[in-house]
Structure 1
Amino acid sequence: MTDRPARPVDGARPVDGTPRSHPALRTPICELFGVRYPIVQTAMGFVSGPRLVAATANAGGLGILAGATLDLPELATAIAEIRRRTSAPFGVNLRADATDAAARVDLLIREHVRVVSFALAPKPELIARLRDAGVRVVPSVGARRHAEKVAGWGADAVIVQGAEGGGHTGAVPTSLLLPQVADAVDIPVIGAGGFFDGRGLVAALAYGAAGVAMGTRFLLTSDTTVSPQVQRRYLDAGLDGTVVTRALDGVPQRVLRTDLIDRLEHAGPLRRLVRSARSAARFRRLTGTPWRHLLAEGLAMRRSRELTWSQVLLAANTPMLLRAAMVDGRVDLGVMATGQVTGLIDDLPSCAELIDRIVAEAVAVLDTLQEGRSDGDR
């Protein structure tokens, strides 16, 4: 496993070593979120914890805590830990359909959290409540109609994930979805799915985005708590090393291709259900998670995604399979959500090195484009 330092791009850094920025990189989300650079670290369950969030914030990006996998006391503790690690703005991800969503929102307002993101669209009254308290609301969407809906409800910005992205994802690639959404709404749009370097950041800006959001690229840094053996599996994967499967909960999601996923893909519905039940029971014993919590998770997904009853248990089990890999390091038993971009990543920089590199590369690309235009005007 290589752990290379960030490589500066010639001409993109001044002598003091800090990355030279560019006016094009000062986008509306920089002011909206209070960050130096238009780079967002997405909320990944069991990955985006206080250490990663604070490291991203200290490096000038927006780190988002994965709050959906924490109970309310754990969420409060995690926010307090981030506060100890950084004074920079950060965000928290919530589930709009959580049974204690109101209590979570109260906590974020009391703690003056700058940004809240949602994987499922929050109701207009919830958006209004957060905005009235000065909290920026940023839902994630995978279709233009969803972006138009939340924009009409008052969202401050929207993260648009194309098919290359990890976890639950759609079928339209980022290169098509991003400009479509950017043309359709009048709030800042953040591109997600397939981004990992400065060239991608410039491309997203050219498509009309105000920045990029990255998950897998931040997972593969030295600031995560993900075990080395799990990171090794990501680094070893090629561009064909991921698969979009419905075998986990009936909803398409992109994960690393593993023996477990292959077995689930080729198993019939009943066999998948039995295997999932056994796996849920095994991890319930390991973690002490009550059955009622697992079933509540599945029922929440059933309501929000119209799952069949057979998919409820599969949906309830999915967080346990994610936890097995990301927390316990069980690459043989767990599920590893990933963006397709994992096939282009081969190192583990710190968040500071990564963001400095992306900014330096973006400045170099912008300078080259400007030089080309100037040459053409002569």
Structure 2
Amino acid sequence: MSAGAASATGRPPAVEEPPVIATALTELTGVRHPLVQTGMGWVAGPRLVSAAANAGALGILASATMNPDQLRSSVREVRSRTDRPFGVNLRADAGDAAERVRIIVDEGVRVASFALAPSRELIARLKDAGVVVIPSIGARRHAEKVAAWGADAVVVQGGEGGGHTGSVATTVLLPQVVDAVDIPVIAAGGFFDGRGLVAALAYGAAGIAMGTRFLLTSDSTVPAAVQDHYLAAGVTDVTVTTRVDGLPHRMLRSELVRALERSGRTSALLTAVRHAASFRKLSGLSWAQMVRDGLAMKHGRDLTWSQVLLAANTPMLLKASMVDGRTDLGVMASGQVAGVIEDLPSCAELVDRIMAEAHRTLAGLPR
């Protein structure tokens, strides 16, 4: 009988899923596959998170761009779409972080991830409630610190990753962290396929986390015209710049980024003022509030006035592209892997493809 023929019962034969790759990540979180969809602001909403979770990955809901009521509503929407484990990404420095933690605990969310290292007290509160705590870090010493405070695992993002990033490549940073801590390490930055998963596992990681690869799926809510920009980008079209908010930020070369990178201080300030004026109606911030918020983000850094204004508006700069489709007005955070991604599979297709390729890669290794 051929593989596609019907069985004697008249039913088509069951399609066998490839055997799972069980790791410390799958055991810790209860997901089927050692894959994480990262919490990208304006991108990782209920639709993408539930699709990733249903595919067997760990979907992470991005909450920094939501108020507490929106966060609770979004968590419940994800819950209505999937019965699989998922997580919520938090900003540890948010003024209402305690309220957001309470929502996570009340709603029974499995995982809390953090873009910045949470305090020892915040980790303890979550762990006492049975929530798995997974901070994201970009340096060995940060991993050692959160591990000592009780974090259950860490996401290690190398310089290839999108958004705010460091300068150390994943292939250098990952083994450093694996050797330094005794908790599961999840590799991020430069991953998009099954070969990368196998490579990360060989380094000692418990799985991989991907942002741009999940952004570029048919389950993503990012406008098609914006996804087309990502698909058209080559590896050299993804740049790291400090001209937006003073921090190294990996993104596509948009019109705004090009204008800021080729401008002097005066013209950069004019560009920032023009964009800030465009966002005032959307953000509801006064000029004084924007300056205060921008200055609060300096963290001791020597920011120009253009960076102060844009730092306060960074969430709106991302929303302009990721939600409104205004690539001329906003910025597009991106991992370097955008330059090698060419299609928009569903999350289910993507996860199945990665796992099948991982098994083929493992089977093809020299014995």
Gaps of 5+ in 2: 1-12
Partner in structure 2 of residue 345 of structure 1: 341
Change (3 A) 1:294 1:111: farther
1:150-171 Cα deviation digits (max 9, x unpaired)? 1111111000001111011111
How far is 1:82 from its partner? 0.5
How far is 1:301 from its partner? 2.5
Partner in structure 2 of residue 55 of structure 1: 51
Instruction: Indicate the RMSD between aligned Cα atoms, in angstroms.
Output: 1.6
- Check conservation: 1:301, 1:307, Cα contact below 8 A: no
How far is 1:126 from its partner? 0.6
2:203 to 207, 211, 222: 207
Structure 2: how far apart are the matches of 1:19 and 1:301? Answer: 47
How far is 1:302 from its partner? 2.9
Matched, 1:171 2:160: no
1:85 is aligned with what amino acid? R
1:348-367 matches, cutoff 5 A: 348-367=344-363
Partner in structure 1 of residue 138 of structure 2: 142
Structure 1: how far apart are the matches of 2:15 and 2:266? Answer: 58
Matched, 1:106 2:106: no
2:248 is aligned with what amino acid? P
- Percent identical pairs in the alignment equals 63
User: What TM-score results when the alignment is normalised by the length of structure 2?
Assistant: 0.92
- Check conservation: 2:43, 2:215, Cα contact below 8 A: yes
- Check conservation: 1:280, 1:320, Cα contact below 8 A: no
How far is 1:259 from its partner? 2.5
Matched, 1:280 2:276: yes
1:239-274 Cα deviation digits (max 9, x unpaired)? 111110000111101100123211101222343233
Matched, 1:77 2:73: yes
1:309-357 Cα deviation digits (max 9, x unpaired)? 7333221121111110000001111100000001111000000000000
Structure 2: how far apart are the matches of 1:53 and 1:144? Answer: 29
Change (3 A) 1:148 1:54: same
Partner in structure 1 of residue 285 of structure 2: 290
Structure 2: how far apart are the matches of 1:323 and 1:295? Answer: 20
- Check conservation: 1:276, 1:317, Cα contact below 8 A: no
Change (3 A) 1:104 1:275: same
Which structure is higher in RCO with an 8 Å CA cutoff and minimum separation 6?
A: 1
Partner in structure 1 of residue 19 of structure 2: 21
Gaps of 5+ in 1: 1-14, 374-378
How far is 1:21 from its partner? 2.0
Partner in structure 2 of residue 5 of structure 1: none
How far is 1:77 from its partner? 1.1
1:167-191 Cα deviation digits (max 9, x unpaired)? 1111111111111110111110000
How many residues of Structure 1 are paired with residues of Structure 2 in the alignment?
Answer: 353
User: What TM-score results when the alignment is normalised by the length of structure 1?
Assistant: 0.90
Structure 2: how far apart are the matches of 1:296 and 1:358? Answer: 45
How far is 1:235 from its partner? 0.3
Structure 2: how far apart are the matches of 1:26 and 1:296? Answer: 48
- Check conservation: 2:26, 2:33, Cα contact below 8 A: yes
Structure 2: how far apart are the matches of 1:138 and 1:326? Answer: 25
1:262 is aligned with what amino acid? R
Partner in structure 1 of residue 249 of structure 2: 253
Structure 2: how far apart are the matches of 1:86 and 1:187? Answer: 28
